[in-house]
Amino acid sequence: MNFSTIKKTVGIVVFSMVAVSGFAQDIIARQAPSDRRLKDIRNVKLNNTAAIAADLNNPAGNIYTDWTDNLRSCSGSVPANYKVDLRGFCMPTPSRKINSNFGPRWGRQHEGLDVKVYIGDTIRAAFDGKVRICKYNGGGYGYYIVIRHPNGLETLYGHLSKQIVKKDQVVRAGEPIGLGGNTGKSSGSHLHFETRLLGQPIDPALLFDFEHQDVTGDYFIVQNGISKGNVARSSSTISTGSQAGGSTARK
Ligand SMILES: [Zn+2]
């Protein structure tokens, strides 16, 4: 090996070291911010998970002040303009057939919507939430479940053939909670589905469109409470106008 060959070899080595070093730096420079970003995303995700867990352990704790296993015993209050977030919903059943609507029926109030399901059909939680009631009522709902959700709503699923969750269990939207049935005061298998806010029934059809398997909007606006006035739909949101107040602004 003569001198010129050595020089050439050294030159090549140095060049490649520079090249590797420059390339490596380039990779490091490109990776550094994305590493930080990933860490940030992880933190956000952890924070969200913690917040969700807290929220699901005490769903809508901002408006409810009790947690009993009595359907109508709900204490608390909602602000004059309360926005129920319907995003993150799951239809309780893929069935699109409504057998009976909310409203007066046979001289009394039918406080839910009857959706055709067959015995054994999977019934799913409409939103994330926590099971408040898991009971049997032979003269009425049969095997039924009530879930309280972080958006303030409570959903009730009646006439089930089987309950597959337990009281106080945290459930996620879409999670199977029971099987369709014909238990209690029921003629023909169906799901009796109720939506309530602070114990007050709201027509589920104002929130859930079973025919189109969708919610009626991203939000449901409750104005001046829900115990007075008629629930009316207005644009993409729904509001309850208090007859007494009379000054509810509608879009
Ligand atoms: Zn019913």
The string of DSSP codes covering 31-86 is HHHHHHHHHHHHHHHHHHHHHHHHHHHSTTTTTB----S-TT---B---SEEEEE-
Q: Quick one: pLDDT band at residue 174, thresholds 50, 70, 90?
A: very high
Distance (angstroms) between ligand 1 centre and the Cα of 72 equals 17
Whether 16 shows a pLDDT value over 70: the answer reads no
Instruction: Give the Cα separation of 231 and 249 in Å (integer).
Output: 14
Residue 169 has a pLDDT of 97
pTM above 0.85, yes or no: no
Dist. CA 174–CA 197, nearest whole Å = 20
Q: Give residues with Cβ within 8 angstroms of 138, minimum separation 6.
A: 184
Q: Taking a C-beta distance cutoff of 8 angstroms, is the pair 172, 150 a contact?
A: no
* pLDDT-based confidence at residue 5 (cuts at 50, 70, 90): very low
Cα 129 to ligand 1 centre (Å): 22
Q: Please provide the average confidence, as pLDDT, over all residues in the chain.
A: 78
Tell me the residue type at 132: R
Report all structural domains of the chain as residue ranges with CATH numbers, in order of start: 81-240 (2.70.70.10)
pLDDT tens, 35-64? 444 455 555 556 566 666 668 999 999 999
The pLDDT tens digits for 202-240 are: 999 999 999 999 999 999 998 876 543 333 333 334 444
Angstrom distance (rounded) from CA 165 to CA 187: 25
pLDDT in tens, 71-95: 887 888 888 889 999 999 999 999 9
Q: What sign has the CA pseudo-torsion 103, 108, 113, 114?
A: negative
In the reported structure, the alpha carbon of residue 39 is separated from the centroid of ligand 1 by a whole-number distance in angstroms of 49
pLDDT (0 to 100) of residue 43: 55
- For the chain, the straight-line distance linking the first and the last C-alpha, in angstroms and rounded, comes to 90
Dihedral (CA of 103, 108, 109, 112) sign = negative
Element (H, E) at 100: strand 98-100
* Residue 251 CA to ligand 1 centre (angstroms): 32
- Provide the H-helix boundaries in the chain: 3-57
Cα 100 to averaged position of ligand 1 atoms, centre (Å): 7
Q: Is-contact 197 204, C-beta < 8 A?
A: no
For residue 48, the model assigns a pLDDT of 64
pLDDT value of position 72? 83
Separation of alpha carbons 184 and 158, rounded Å: 8
Q: How far is the CA of 165 from the centre of ligand 1 (A)?
A: 21
Question: What's the 117 CA to ligand 1 centre distance in angstroms?
Answer: 12
- CA–centroid distance, 62 to ligand 1, in Å, is 30
